[in-house]
Structure 1
Amino acid sequence: MLKERFWTAVLLAPIVLAGLFLSSFDVFKLFVAGIVLLGAWEWANLAGLIPSTARLAYTSLIAALMATLNYYSPAGEFSGFLWVAVLFWWMAAFWVVRYPVVSGWQASWQRLLIGVLVLTSTWMALVTLQHQPKGDVLLLMLLLLVWGADIGAYFAGKTWGKAKLAPNVSPGKTRAGLWGGLTSCALISLCFIVYLELDLLLGVYLLLIAMLAGLASVLGDLFESMLKRHRGIKDSSQLLPGHGGILDRIDSITAAAPVFVLCLHLLSMS
C-alpha cells in the first residue's frame, strides 16, 4: 500500500503542479474542471447512483453547469456565488456534529443536489482565486494550508490524540489532531505574511483567514467521510492506487477553497 501511494504521488505530482501553476488561465480552468468531473463521477456513486449511464448523466450535468458559468463569466469572477457554498458548509457542520441523528441529506436526490453545489463551487473558487493578483501565490497558500492541516493533524493525533473529534463519522480523528492541524496552518500563514510583506493588520486578517480555511478543510474531510459511511464504502473509488479516489484527495479543498476565497474577497473590499 505504501509503495503504491508513493509511486502514484511521484507520477501524478508533476502533472498536477504543471496544470495548476504552469498553464494559462484557460488551460487552468479546463484542468480543474477535469478533476472536478472525475469527482462528480465518484459523487454520483456516493449519492447512490449505480448504473454507469446515470453516473455519466450526472457528470455531464456538472460539466454543463461549469461551461455555462464560464460562458457568463469567462474572467472567473464568482465571488458572489460562493456565499451559497459557505452557508452550505455551516449546515454541513451541523450535520457532521449531529450525525447520525439529523436528517436532510440522506436521500439520494439530496446528496445529488449537494454534489452539484459542492463540486461547482470548488471549481468557481479555484478559478476565482487563480485570476486574482498574485493568484499563483494564493493558490499555493491554499494548498499548503490544506496539506498542512492534514499533516499537522496526523502527527499531533499520533502523539497526543486521545479525545475523539467526531467518533460517529471518523473515529480516527482527534481533538489534538485538530489543534495540531490549526497550528500548522498558523505557521504556514506566518510564512506567507512575511513573504508578502504585509503590515500588522493585514497579517492578522490573513492569519484568521488561514485558520478558517484550516477548519473548513477538516469539515470537508469529515463530510465526505460521513457520506461514505452512509453509503457503506471505504474510498470514493480506486482510481488512484494507494490513495482511493479523486474525492478522497480533494474533499478538504471542496470546503476550504470557497471559505478561503470568499474571505479574501471580503478582505479586498474592506
Structure 2
Amino acid sequence: MLLQRVLTAAVLLPLLLAVIFWAPSLWMVAVFAAVGGLAAREWAALSRWGASRAVQLIYAGLCFALVLLAWQAHLFAAWWLPTLLGLALLHWLWVGWALAGYPQRVRPCVQSRWGMAQGLLLVVPTIVACGHLQAQPDGAWWLLFAFFLVFAADVGAYFAGRRFGRHKLALQISPGKTREGAVGGLLLCTFWALIGVALFGLAGFQALGFVVLCAVIGVFSIVGDLFESACKRIANVKDSGNILPGHGGMLDRIDSVVAAMPLFVLGLMALGLA
C-alpha cells in the first residue's frame, strides 16, 4: 500500500507542476475541471440520488461544464468571483455547524437532493479560484504555496497525532484524528505561512493578515477532511473511489483542497494580494 501511494504521488506531482507552471490558465482550468468531474462522479456515487451510473456520468459532465462557464463569467464580471467564493465560505461555515451535529445534520448531504447542489459547491469555486490565482503575477508560485499549505496541515496533523495524540478530535467521524494532531497541523501551517511572508516579500498588515489567513485555512482544511469522512461513514464506504492506487478516489485526495482553496483566494483578495 505504501509503495503504491509513493508511486502514484511520483507520477502525479510532476504532472501537477507542469500544469501549474506551463499551462495557460484556461487549459489549467480545463484540466482541473476534468479532475473535478471525476470527484463529482464519486460524490454522486456516495449519494442515494446518484446510485445510477448514468446519473453519475451526467453529473460529472454538468460539473465540468459549469466550471468552464464559471471561469468565463469571472473573466467578464468583476463581481462574479467574490460572490462565488463568498458562497463557498457560507457553505463551509455551514459544514462546520453540520459536523457539530453529526450524523443528523450531515445525513441530508448524501441522502437528499441537496447533495446535488452541494457537490457543485465543492468543485466549482475551488477550480475557478485556482485559475484566478494562477493567472496573477507569480501566480503559479502562489498556487503551489496554497497546495503545500494544505499538505502542511495534513502532514503536521499526522506526525503530531502519532507522537502526542491523546484526545480524539471527532471520534464518531474519524477515530484516528486527535486534537493534538490538529494543533500540530495548525502550527506547521503557521510556520509555512512565515516562509510565505519571506518568499513573497510581505510586510506590515499584509504579513500579519497572511499568517492569520494561513492558520484559518489550516482549520478549514481539517473541516474538509472531516466532512468527506462523515459523508463516507453515512454512505458506509471506506474510500470515495479507487481511481488512484493506494490513495482511493479523487475526492479522497482533494477533500481538504476543496475547503481550503476558495477561502484562501478570498482571503488573498481581501488582503489585496490577488
**Short-chain TM bin:** over 0.9
Residue in structure 2 matched with residue 55 of structure 1 by the alignment: 56
CA distance in 2, matches of 1:26, 1:148: 28
CA displacement at 1:190 relative to structure 2: 0.5
Instruction: Tell me what 2:137 maps to.
Output: 133
CA distance in structure 2 between the aligned counterparts of 1:76 and 1:9, rounded to whole angstroms: 37
Cα separation, partners in 2 of 1:38 and 1:76, compared to 1, 3 Å = farther
Q: Does the CA contact (< 8 Å) of 2:167 and 2:178 recur in 1?
A: yes
Percent identity reads 37
C-alpha separation between the residues in 2 aligned to 1:192 and 1:26?
A: 26
Distance change in 2, residues 1:64/1:112 (3 Å)? same
Judging changes above 3 Å, is the alpha-carbon distance between structure 1 residues 204 and 228 closer, same or farther for their aligned structure 2 residues? same
Q: 1:106 to 1:28 in 2, by over 3 A?
A: closer
Q: Once the 2 structures are TM-superposed, how far is the Cα of residue 72 of structure 1 from its aligned partner?
A: 2.6
Secondary structure of the corresponding residue to residue 171 of structure 1: strand
CA contact (8 A) 2:44 2:59 kept: yes
Backbone CA RMSD of aligned residues:
1.6
Q: Which moved more, 1:55-64 or 1:209-218?
A: 55-64
The equivalent of 2:229 in structure 1 is 225
What's the counterpart of residue 6 of structure 1? 6
State the match for 2:71 in structure 1.
70
Counterpart for residue 24 of structure 2: 24
Give the TM-score normalised by structure 2: 0.93
In 2, are the aligned partners of 1:70 and 1:76 still within 8 Å (CA)? no
Query: 2:115, 2:140 → 1: CA distance?
Result: 32
Match of residue 238, structure 1, among 223, 227, 242: 242
1:38 is matched with 38
CA distance in 2, matches of 1:91, 1:187: 28
> Which residue of the other structure, out of 163, 166, 170, is the alignment partner of 2:167?
163
Q: 1:120 to 1:209 in 2, by over 3 A?
A: same
1:79-118 residue pairs with structure 2 within 5 A? 79-102=82-105, 104-118=108-122
In 2, Cα distance between the equivalents of 1:248 and 1:105?
Answer: 17
Deviation at 1:30, TM superposition (A): 1.1
Following the alignment from structure 1 to structure 2, what is the Cα–Cα distance between the partners of residues 229 and 175? 20
**Are the aligned partners of 1:217 and 1:252 in contact in 2 as well (CA < 8 Å)?**
yes
Matched to 2:64, the amino acid is A
2:264 partner amino acid: F
* Post-superposition CA distance 1:39-62 (Å, at most 9, x none): 111111112322211101111211
Matched length: 269
Contact 1:219 1:255 in 2 (8 A): yes
Deviation of 1:76 (Å):
9.2
Give me the whole-angstrom Cα distance separating, in 1, the residues matched to 2:73 and 2:197.
Answer: 34
- Native 8 Å contact 2:29 2:68 kept in 1: no
Aligned to 1:213: 217
- Segments of structure 1 that go 5 or more residues without pairing to the other structure are none
Q: Match for residue 201 of structure 1?
A: 205
**5+ residue gaps, structure 2:** none
In the aligned structure 2, how far is the partner of 1:55 from the partner of 1:161?
39
How far apart are the structure 1 equivalents of 2:188 and 2:92? 22
Question: Which residue identity does 1:134 align to in structure 2?
Answer: D
Letter in 1 for 2:181: G
Distance 2:116 2:6 in 1: 33
Q: Give secondary structure in 2 for the equivalent of 1:105.
A: helix
Q: Kindly provide the amino acid, as one letter, of the partner of residue 15 in structure 1.
A: L
Give SS of 2:246's match. Answer: coil
Instruction: Give the drift of 1:101.
Output: 3.6
Q: 2:33·2:68 contact (CA, 8 Å) conserved in 1?
A: no
Contact 1:153 1:180 in 2 (8 A): yes
- Name which of 144, 150, 154 aligns with 2:154: 150
TM-score with structure 1 setting the length: 0.95
Shift of 1:70: 2.9
Distance 1:167 1:268 in 2: 39
- Following the alignment from structure 1 to structure 2, what is the Cα–Cα distance between the partners of residues 76 and 39? 27
| Structure 1 residue 79: Cα displacement | 2.5
